[in-house]
Structure 1
């Protein structure tokens, strides 16, 4: 009979794991900033247009066709084929984003259950990270009319990214005590902003200086996308060396039985969530206010161009500023949480978010300085709101089911995104004003604030069988 594995949980051992854990935020943030936030969408749409040009306008030079595509396209021409359906090139990126989100909603709970059921979190983290990183590096080969290749690679990379984050987040309660949780979560989030911002800055240097380097625009984008995968792969080595698996109760040994056992365990977890009504209420509160956060970020560039008539250079420089200021903002809110309590700090950040979206209505057209100021305010509360929410959630979930519950947090993050987008769409449809569309998001922060106020956090922590930290 094998002796049970003994894990060193001394402060020194925990600190070593925490330092390694931070680096995965640094590694994977490059995918989000370089691929999702900046490069892939604007690059993939012209690739899809090139495919439509080759199909519907074969006698016309591709570059000229792409440049004049919106005029050439008709109700019958200017579509690309996606599994037999005719899709407008402009809608292709939105389509693959939707597919990626839907797949995450289906897959992430299974990933969480598998991680908790088998206890092989480090192996799962590495596996998902490297599948995602390799798919991201392969975006380099998306050129010409290979829009389908780009779509498939992005879906694989994005699904792997989400799955790896579920496993990564589930380490947080295992490598930190309740009183360390806010500090560790905030530092991880802050370092992620720093890493993602650093690579994005290097890629923007390449992109903006491509002419002097003798590199075409398409090649500069492809190199930038490949670099995000390479960055992700290289820096994932550090957490894989530092993190340790914890022992779990005896379980099925074969892979097939482990997956089957994971499904059964997931079913039990969803059913028993009713035993933790305060945890469920926090999850709903997070779903609401985080939807507001994600929608504000997702529509900032469109607001800058449509409502404020600001240039691409202003938008890009603001994105960079947000990355680096958010590093300090996450650390600042983490420090405030340790002094005033996590719940109070999150509530204060929601008040700031409310002020931001109200003030956005009054920004003047062409006023870049005002937009920079709004971006600065967003950066201060952005990382902290999310990092402290992750930390607080880790306090109200039962031990041994961390990955399953964090998969539910990720699903609430990904799956609710359409509500904010729908709100903006309806506001634009009825008002034709981005200013009204942005201010309509205040409802998410107000309702989220009210729901979070209603959560008895100390009681939720005790109900989950955890120790209540000194300040919460």
Structure 2
């Protein structure tokens, strides 16, 4: 396991630069501002590539390469063309689960988060930019680039999140985390507007629809790579002192098991992670299935769904900042619990939405946007208080796996409910159980005691 992260003078890694001097407020703000810009850099990948463009386009490329029965044959395995995108995403999750604990442990043991962040960021940005070449029948290239980009994104977020305890004092973290999410949603909104203008007006620009999509995909990679320069210039690595016998990290799975075993020494931290796993699964399922609900149950057009995604991005900025302010008054835990109650109300409203009424779907999108960014940002900042010093990247790898690698139960419940009832309305309301159970589990976590048990100072409000 990771050694306690300190410099030679014995200063905690999160409290000072390599020389052992505590950073000034100005130095801390400079790092925070740089940190925000990684969210600004990489969020366009989630907003434009994953949410809007790559799924339909890669599916169309796979269908163009399919045989008469509608199958493609990667590595000689028959795969229905319409399923290829989903399988590629699943493969990227498996790769990320293998890599995240390994990279997190290496980052903690060496103290060199920044070179690892640069490697992950530019691998992902390069793979995304290369999606420009996905013309014709190159579905295998598309699948490979998607796997690399998705896994790189997940690994980079482990390293990015692990900086939060080092660049922000305990009482600052809710606000700093919320601003990071706000920066990300702002970037996603800006790039989504630009891409949608290009896509919807491609004929006036003299472009085919396919070329417009490929430009949109590549532009997200270029944006990611360009703005990643800001955090890489401003963030600093901290020195570490290795514990006796601290050897190299093991395989991804071995390291994950070791991390979870270490978490057993901090059962309250593990209790929070379990609550987060449950309610975040509900959040991720709503995000991924809302467009299916809108198109299949409500009969809405693609342009309406894309506009709703943009509305979510815009309002998530206000939601993240607004809930950050609420956390300063009521504490992060109470604010998250309030957001889970709001998610439940939102799903109930979605169940009763009339078909063919885009205005009400926009209202639902607005409700999702207002609670989405805040619940994610405050969960991250609250978890940062529960991580023992020197194990930031290692613990955040487990957090990121909860965020990305284990969010499959919700889609399964959604799909099974639809299969049994034939109703997408029943499927969407079935997700209430994730928010209700997550609420109960989080309410039972004594967060002040959990922070103290992790060896961290307890903020006045948490």
For this structure pair, what is the TM-score category when the shorter chain's length is used for normalisation? over 0.9
Unaligned runs of 5+ in 2: 1-6, 10-17
Structure 2 equivalent of residue 458 of structure 1: 448
1:201 to 193, 203, 216: 193
- The alignment status of 1:420 with 2:397, answered yes or no, reads no
Are 1:431 and 2:421 matched, yes or no?
Answer: yes
Aligned to 1:35: 49
1:155-304 pair list within 5 angstroms: 155-250=147-242, 258-260=248-250, 268-304=258-294
Report deviation, 1:250.
3.6
2:40 is equivalent to residue 26 of structure 1: yes
1:258 shift after superposition: 3.9
Check 1:205–1:261 CA distance in 2 against 1; reply closer, same or farther (3 A cut).
Answer: closer
Q: Tell me the distance in 2 between the aligned counterparts of 1:343 and 1:119.
A: 30
> Once the two structures are superposed, what CA deviation does each residue of 1:204-245 show, in whole Å capped at 9, x if it has no partner?
100000011110000000000000000000000000010000
The separation in 2 between residues aligned to 1:113 and 1:464, in whole angstroms, is 18
Q: Once the 2 structures are TM-superposed, how far is the Cα of residue 342 of structure 1 from its aligned partner?
A: 0.5
In the TM superposition, what whole-angstrom CA distance separates every residue of 1:233-277 from its partner, at most 9, and x where no partner exists?
Answer: 00000000100001111479xxxx644599987654332211111
For 1:325, the equivalent position in structure 2 comes to: 315
Task: Compute the TM-score of the two structures, normalised by the length of structure 2.
Answer: 0.94
- Name 1:367's counterpart in structure 2: 357
Structural mapping, 1:143-154, within 5 Å: 143-154=135-146
- Cα distance in structure 2, aligned partners of 1:298 and 1:267: 29
SS of residue in 2 equivalent to 1:14: helix
When the two chains are superposed, the root-mean-square deviation of aligned CA atoms in Å is: 1.9
| 1:262-321 per-position Cα deviation (integer Å, ceiling 9, x unaligned) | 998765433221111111110000000000000011111011111111111111111111
Counterparts of 1:447 and 1:262 in 2: how far apart (Å)? 30
Alpha-carbon distance between aligned partners in 1 of 2:36 and 2:135, rounded to the nearest angstrom: 34
Q: 1:329-348 maps to which residues of 2 (within 5 A)?
A: 329-348=319-338
* Residues 68-118 of structure 1: CA deviation (Å, up to 9, x unaligned): xxxxxxxxx221002221001100000001111111112111111111111
Distance 1:79 1:386, change over 3 A: same
Change beyond 3 A, Cα 1:250–1:274 = closer
TM-score (norm 1): 0.92
Partner residue of 2:60? 46
Give distance in 2, aligned partners of 1:164 and 1:239: 12
**Does the C-alpha gap of structure 1 residues 423 and 192 become closer, same or farther in structure 2, counting only changes over 3 Å?**
same
Label 1:8 to 1:51 Cα distance change in 2 as closer, same or farther (>3 A).
same
Aligned to 1:112: 104
Number of corresponding residues: 447
Structure with bigger gyration radius: 1
Q: Which of 383, 388, 406 does residue 378 from structure 2 map onto?
A: 388
Give the 3 Å change call, closer, same or farther, for CA 8–84 of structure 1 in structure 2: same
Kept in 1: contact 2:162–2:392 (CA 8 A):
yes
Paired residue for 2:119?
127
CA contact (8 A) 1:339 1:471 kept: yes
1:378 aligned partner: 368
Q: Work out whether residues 113 and 262 of structure 1, in 8 Å CA contact, stay in contact via their aligned partners in 2.
A: no
Task: Return the alpha-carbon distance in structure 1 between the equivalents of residues 404 and 278 of structure 2.
Answer: 12
- Residues 57 and 213, structure 2, Cα contact 8 Å, conserved in 1: yes
> 2:133: which partner in 1?
141
| Distance in 2 between residues matched to 1:266 and 1:306, nearest whole Å | 39
- How big is each residue's C-alpha offset from its partner over 1:364-418, in whole Å with a ceiling of 9 and x where there is no partner? 1111111111110110000000000000000011000000111001111123221
Q: Secondary structure at the match of 1:468?
A: coil
Structure 2 distance, partners of 1:426, 1:126, is 41
Contact 2:316 2:372 in 1 (8 A): yes
Inter-partner Cα distance in structure 2 for 1:294 and 1:280: 20
Change (3 A) 1:9 1:295: same
Instruction: Determine whether 1:358 maps to 2:348.
Output: yes
Secondary structure of residue in 1 paired with 2:78: strand
